Amino acid sequence: MIARRALLASAPALLAAPPVRAGIAATLLVGASAGSGVDQWARGLAPFLERHWAHAAVTVVNRPGQGGLAMARTLAGAAADGRTLGVVSTPSLLARAVEKGQERLLESLFFVASVADEPIVLVAPAGAQPSLAAISRMAPGALMAMPPAGSAPQLLGLRLAAQLGLSPFPFANSGAVRQAVLQGHVPVAILAAPEALPLVREGRIVALAVGGESRTDLLPDTPTLKEQGVALSSASCKGFAIPSGTPAELVSSISDGLSRMIADPEFLAFLESSALRPLFQGPDKWPTQVRGTLEQLALRWRQDPWAQTAG
């Protein structure tokens, strides 16, 4: 069990600090290659960070590798001066740290705030009944396609497949999953909303359920798993981390800027266009949630490693 003090060391230092000065350039670290979906999303939100927090240029720097852990190492080694942020996604970054035995690396980061929720959607080829009833007509052990091990859809998908009597089939990437269900090669798949929503709206695939605690306004007519008798849910968040030891005053400045950003109608439109929902959880809440999720993943990894099913 991860000690309760794990990640507490990442709480911002309660030291006096000068206020953040406008005009000082800031850096946004991205744990993915240039041109990737994560990179494009980060570059799309950079102007909003400039507007509401940095008040200066925000330079996007790519640090791909190890599912975000390479970026996390760079961020952990950055100056705790409130001018370097890292884009993080949970639970995927946490799962990768658990897989690689790198939980201590996360103690060097402070998860300052989330800004978006990424719904998870269970989908089927066009023509399927838009509910879990569609699965009842599938042969026992039918394939459920899902993204690679450790991704939020895969972590939920493994447990969902077990409950529904389906066989999990991880693909190399989300694009391959999307193509497989679009072409009818698999009877059901689980995807993050940004991958699924465009095809659902075009009528090319069908949404059977969403994986959150409540319905999403992105797919208001699609019921949750729980509404359909499956006691499972999962949350996937996008937010920002900073080096641990960042002075409290600077943490507050970042959090306040992110709070203003998420109230910006243009940023909200940007999120909607990215198939994401606004979800602000500040430094008083998100670090605790991250710590709890990390502990749950570490326990799950010891009992039933999710990477065993990866092809």
Q: Report if residue 102 sits inside a domain.
A: yes
Q: Which residue has the higher pLDDT, 238 or 135?
A: 238
Q: Work out the burial of residue 231: count CB atoms within 10 Å of its CB; fewer than 13 is exposed, 13-18 middle, 19 or more buried.
A: exposed
pTM for the structure as a whole: 0.89
pLDDT greater than 80 at residue 35: yes
Q: What is the Cα gyration radius of the chain?
A: 20
pLDDT greater than 80 at residue 143: yes
Q: Report if residue 3 sits inside a domain.
A: no
CA pair distance 249, 146, nearest whole angstrom: 42
At which of 210, 228, 246 does a domain end?
Answer: 228
Give residue-wise pLDDT tens across range 263-285. Answer: 999 999 999 999 999 999 999 99
Give residue-wise pLDDT tens across range 176-201. Answer: 999 999 999 999 999 999 999 999 99
Contact 167, 158 (CB under 8 A): no
Q: Which among 14-18, 69-73, 133-137 has the top mean pLDDT?
A: 69-73
CA pair distance 68, 121, nearest whole angstrom: 23
Helices H, strands E: what count in the chain?
11, 11
Percent of the chain at pLDDT exceeding 70: 91
At which of 228, 255, 283 does a domain end?
Answer: 228
CA pair distance 250, 252, nearest whole angstrom: 5
Asked if residue 141 and residue 166 are part of one domain, the reply reads yes
At which of 196, 228, 260 does a domain end?
Answer: 228
What is the four-CA torsion angle of 64, 305, 171, 182, rounded to 10 degrees? -120
Asked if residue 258 and residue 160 are part of one domain, the reply reads no
Domain housing 176: 120-228
Omega cis (within 30) before 91: yes
Length of the chain: 311
The reported pLDDT for the residue numbered 23 is: 66
